[in-house]
Amino acid sequence: MKTDHVDTILAQWKAQRPDLDCSPMGVIGRVGRAKQLMTIRVDGVFKQFDLSNIEFDILASLRRASEAVTPTELYQTLMLSSGAMSTRVDGLVKRGLVERQASEIDRRSCLVTLTTEGLVLIDKVVEAHVDNEREMLSSLDDNEQAQLAALLKKWLMANE
């Protein structure tokens, strides 16, 4: 029976603390380990377009949105501080990927929108990103992928 890295850790705990049932680590440890390895490969694609993970998330949020988005919505959705979001948006503005437009109804506020250049870029990046993800999952067949998504979704619906 083949093993992964988490099996090794579980065996070590079993040897040192046989009184402890570490089986939850077999689930949560693997979620963390998988995420870690997936992140490296996902970020590799973003890096090809000179984007960080968060910059991708901002551009993708703007691309997905059917209505205009404010900085407040962005930092709340992406779980960043308002200050951090200002800094990030600044960087994207400097690169000509997004613009700030004054709000017509609330003069304290603004709307962050993609420039044409930003739209073209995020559309390219998303395509490369999804292709990369599909390739990353090729070690599981369609049924296994669906099962995995369904189990995680069940957990998420109870915990998010």
Partner DNA sequence: TATTGTTATACTCTATAACTATA
Partner DNA sequence: TATAGTTATAGAGTATAACAATA
Give the residues lining the site for its own copies (CB under 8 A).
Answer: 2-7, 9, 12-13, 15-17, 20-28, 30-35, 37-39, 42, 63-66, 123, 126-127, 130, 133-134, 136-137, 139-140, 144-145, 147-149, 151-160
Whose Cβ is closer to its own copies: residue 90's or residue 123's?
123
Report in angstroms the alpha-carbon separations of 94 from 57, 89, 90, 91: 17, 9, 6, 5
In the complex, minimum distance from the CB of residue 125 to DNA, in angstroms, rounded to a whole number: 16
DSSP-derived letter for residue 131 is H
In the complex, minimum distance from the CB of residue 19 to DNA, in angstroms, rounded to a whole number: 31
Taking CB under 7 A as the criterion, which residues in 34-93 touch DNA? 52, 54, 70-73, 79-90
**35-45 burial: b if 16+ Cβ within 10 Å, else e:** eeeeeeebeeb
CB-CB contact of 58 with 91 (8 Å): no
CA dist., res. 103 & res. 107, Å (int): 6
Beta strands in 3-160 (DSSP E): 98-102, 110-114
CB-CB contact of 89 with 113 (8 Å): no
Which listed option, DNA, its own copies, none, makes contact with residue 27 (CB within 5 to 8 Å by class)? its own copies
Whose Cβ is closer to its own copies: residue 31's or residue 84's?
31
Sites of contact with DNA (CB under 7 A): 52, 54, 70-73, 79-90, 100, 103, 106-110
